Structure formats: structure tokens, C-alpha cells
Amino acid sequence: MASSAEAGIPEPRNPQSEGEEPLWPGFVLRMVLPGTIGTILIALGAFGVGWLPVDTSVAELPVIDALRGTPIGEAVSKFAVVAGILIMIQAWLFIGYDVMKGRIQDVRRLWLVLAAWCAPLLLTPPLFSRDVYSYFTQGRLWIAGFNPYQEGTASIPGWFNDGGDPMWSESKTPYGQFFLLLERGVVAFSGPHAYTGAIVFRIIALIGVALLAWAVVRLATWCGIEPSKAVWMAALNPLVILHFVSGAHNDALMVGLVAAGLVLAVERYAWAGVILVTLAGAVKPIGLLALPFVGLIWAGTRSNWSRRFAMWIATGAIAIVILGLFGWLTGTGFGWINALSTPGAVRTWLSPPTAVGMNVGNVGEIFGLSITDQAINYARLAGTVLTVLILAWLCLKPEGRTPIRGAALGFFWLVALGPIVQPWYLLWSLPLFAASGLPRWQFRVASIGTVLLTIYSGVGSGGMQENYGSLSDTTLFIIALAFLIAMLWVSKREWALLFGKVSAAGLVPVSDADKARAQQATMRKPGEAVAG
């Protein structure tokens, strides 16, 4: 009997697919438009409660002045932001149902959704963080002749007017030399206009998002994961929209370069992959963590130990040369190493070690002991030691998982055991998890965690220009979560995605061809035969 392919009948692309992909008009109305409305609301609210420099003519526009200068305007703006976030979450889950059902497999459709959702935020003031203005002031600092690895932005006159957080005014920059060059270039282009500089930094962040959206497709294919599912989880993720696009964090460029570097490595251009990952580390040094996993890809999934160590040495040599060239070009050497502790000045309950230290300190206060600082330091030290051990294990015992999965685990544990955790830090690892696979419980944790962190990001008073009056962050979080649960209850498909049968399989290889690709990408013990 002839196979379906021989008979001219196309094979199904996904055994789990249920129904044809929706026609374009219906797709735009049901999938593209709702989330776009959500980000339009976020954009409108950003002009009222987003961060603006002290000296900017944008705030003088009549409509924006009304939003920012009156209690009613501020209330409307805050409501628009929170409502837009809830709509965007619901739209993301709505699309996810069809993606996980196999009804949407064309990644170009999801790229269209991503572009439509990002577009309204292109020219808006940043929300949820004002780090982008610190980037601008650091560029000014360097142009003024100061070394950003030795001096804080308070060293230059008028630094406060640029809009950066005063908390970091005395801090050394924790970013790499490549990003210093970008900061200097943005300031040279924007002149004294910090808001214009913020828009340029957002465009740079969007380049990172585009790299991520492209790379996750190729990484997922290599790991045997349906690309549309990976793109939905990794690139359309609401945290990407809020923090990489609206917040314009340089993490977007770092993550995009890491993902693109891994793509080059799996496509037999490992040396070029090392260059891109090193560039990612020259944006934020945390990106360098991916280098040993690029070395594993370069060595090959069936390589012996001598081959692996040889590729690690080659990877390290290339990285050191590139970083050395950047150090020579910028005149800063390896000064960024001394500034790596800068983010640790923040204390957040999202960091497990810091939370443990603060709780121990609170208990000590009951007995009249002032041990909070010591408790936090010891807890963070324990987290650091454990992180080093886990990373060593991931590199030296890579068998049974793909290098992409290993890198994802490395970034995850680095964050989970780190001294500070911000909601967007999840995005260091989540795209790599999405590309390398998420079994059922991990898929649900990732999906529900995304929803909760997105709400947390949106209602935290520290994320906007002013406070929320008499309402605490906890109260607002509960109110927003209640509205979201009500929305999910009305629309059963989103509830089924998070808690029902739709997510039962998770993000795993489905077809025989996908399972074979996943097996080929999995690290084996030297000399171990491949099953089948």
C-alpha cells in the first residue's frame, strides 16, 4: 500500500493538530486585535504614569500634562495600564490555546502578532523601570571623560534631570564594554535629550526581541519542539512586551544575542556563535554563562572528554580575545569585573537567599539582635556557592539533556539563587526552556508564573511615576488577580490551557521525526550508541 505522501496526500504537520489554521480576517480580529488594544491602553497610560526626564518638552503637551498633572488623569492612566495588562494576558492565553492545540503552526503569524503588540509602545515613556535613563546618563558620563566602571552618574552635572533612579547615582555600571559603546553612540546621536535616547535604546531592545523571535524557531526545531509553541511561550510572552519593549531593558539585546549565538553553534558555525555570545556578555556579563554550552555544541553530542575540553579552551580563548579588544578599544580593560556586585545593593523578596536572610533578620529583631545584614550576606554567599556547584555539574555531567536545556537550567539557577531577582530575569532562561522543552508541570509553572509576574510587574507602585494613593501593592495585586480569574472563568479555553487537558502534554517532541531530532541533540556519554 502506498503511503499518503506517495499518494500525493500531505502528511499532517502535527499529530495533535485540530482543525485548519484560521483565515486571515478572523485571525486578525481574534488573535491580533485584542492584544493590540491591550498595549494601546498600556501606551496611553504610560504617558500619564510612565517615567519621563525632568527636562523634557513631552510633558508640556496639553493632553500629557492633563494626564500627569491632575488626580483624575493619573487615576485614568493607572487604570489604563492595569486594564491593558489584563487584556494582554487574556489575549496571550487565548492564542496559546490554539497554538497548543496545533491550530496555529505558522510562526509568521505569531511574528505578526508580536509586531502588532509592540508597535503602540515604540514612542511611549518607559514603564516598570527607569533603567533606560541610567543607560543614557552612563553614556554622558563616559563622554565627559569619566570611567563608568570607577565613577557613578552623580559625577556629572545635571545627572538627575536625565530621569535615572537616584538609587544608582553613586553606583558603577554593571554592563559590558559593548554596551558602553552603544550608550556613547546613543548619547552622541540624541544630544542632551534623554527621552530621545530612551526611544533609541528601545529600538536596540527591539532588535534583541527580533533576534530572539527568529532564533527560538531554529533552536526549537533542532530540539524537536514545535516552533510555534516555542515562539508563543518565549517571544509573545507578556513579560517580553512589558520589560523588553516598554521597559527597554538591555537584557533584551543580551538574550537575543545569546539565542542567536546558540543558533549559529547548532548550525555548525560554533566559532561565530562564540562571538555572538561573547557580545551578549559584553552587554551584560551574565550572558557569558552560555559559553560552556556553546563549547559542548561545538564538541558534538557524542564527543569524548578531550574533545570537550579542547572546545572549551577554544571558546574561552576567543571570548578573552574579544573582551580584551573591547577593553583596549574603550580604555576600560576588564574593569567591568569589579562592578559585577552593583545590582546586589537591591534587596527584594523575589530572591530566595535574600528573602531567607531578611526573615532570619526579622526573627533576630524579635530577640533584640541586629543581624539582618549578616544574615543576608551569609544567605547570599550560600546561594553563590550552590550556584557554582550546579553550573559545574551542568557542564561536567551534560548527558541526558541538550546543551540548550543545560544553558536554560544554568540561567534559571543563577537567578533563583542570586542576590537579586527582577521579573524580567525569568526571560534569561525561559526562551531556552521553550526551545528545548517543557514537560507538563514545567509548562504550567512557566505559564502561571508568567501570568503572576506580569500582574506583579503591572501593579507594583515602584514601576510607575507615582504611588497608587492609599492602595497597597498587595491589595492591587489581589484585585487585578481577581479580575483575571473572572476573565478566565468566563472564557473556559484559557482556563483549560493553564489547568486542563490542553497543557497535559506540555512542550515536548510529538512526532517521530521530532523525537529523533531531540535524541540527536541530546548529549551522550562518550562512545554511547544512539538508540534506534
Residues in the chain: 532
Task: Report percent pLDDT > 90 for the chain.
Answer: 49
Q: Report pTM.
A: 0.89
CB neighbour list of residue 223: distance below 8 Å, 6 or more residues apart: 402, 404, 405, 435, 436, 437, 509, 517, 518, 521
Taking alpha carbons only, the member of 445, 433, 430 closest to residue 404 is 433
At residue 466, φ and ψ (nearest 5 deg) are: -125, 170
Evaluate if residue 12 carries a pLDDT over 60: no
**Cell 526573627 -> residue:** 363
Burial class of 65 by CB neighbour count within 10 A (0 to 12, 13 to 18, 19+): middle
Taking alpha carbons only, the member of 488, 485, 142 closest to residue 329 is 142
Taking alpha carbons only, the member of 218, 215, 287 closest to residue 251 is 287
Residue 228 is placed in which grid cell? 510555534
CB neighbour list of residue 524: distance below 8 Å, 6 or more residues apart: 301, 302, 399, 530
Give residue-wise pLDDT tens across range 179-191: 999 999 999 999 8
Question: Mind giving me the DSSP string for 336-399?
Answer: GGGGTTGGGG---TTSHHHHHHHHHHHHHHHTT---HHHHHHHHHHHHHHHHHHHHHHHHH--T
Nearest-5° Cα angle at 326, 244 to 247: 10
Taking alpha carbons only, the member of 445, 523, 505 closest to residue 226 is 505
Give residue-wise pLDDT tens across range 373-391: 788 888 888 888 999 999 9
Choose between 91 and 480: higher pLDDT: 91
Predicted local confidence at residue 231, as pLDDT:
97
Question: Mind giving me the DSSP string for 210-262?
Answer: HHHHHHHHHHHHHHT--HHHHHHHHTS-HHIIIIIIIS--THHHHHHHHHHHH
Give residue-wise pLDDT tens across range 171-222: 788 899 999 999 999 999 998 889 999 999 999 999 999 999 999 999 999 9
Give residue-wise pLDDT tens across range 19-41: 567 777 888 888 899 999 999 99
Give residue-wise pLDDT tens across range 103-135: 899 999 999 999 999 999 999 999 988 899 999
Helix (H, G, I), strand (E, B) or coil at 192: coil
Taking alpha carbons only, the member of 110, 115, 122 closest to residue 220 is 110
Residues 2, 67: Cα–Cα separation, whole Å: 68
Choose between 238 and 76: higher pLDDT: 238
Structural contact between residues 276 and 306, judged by C-beta atoms closer than 8 angstroms: no
pLDDT band with cut points at 50, 70 and 90 for residue 5:
very low
Residues 486, 477: Cα–Cα separation, whole Å: 14
Residues 17, 171: Cα–Cα separation, whole Å: 52
Name the amino acid, one letter, at 370.
S
HEC assignment per residue over 451-493: HHHHHHHHHCHHHCCCCCCCCCHHHHHHHHHHHHHHHHHHCHH
Mean pLDDT, rounded, for 491-501: 81
Residues 41, 78: Cα–Cα separation, whole Å: 10
At residue 431, φ and ψ (nearest 5 deg) are: -60, -35
Residue 171 is placed in which grid cell? 553606583
CB neighbour list of residue 136: distance below 8 Å, 6 or more residues apart: 162, 163, 164, 183, 186, 187, 190, 194, 197, 198, 201
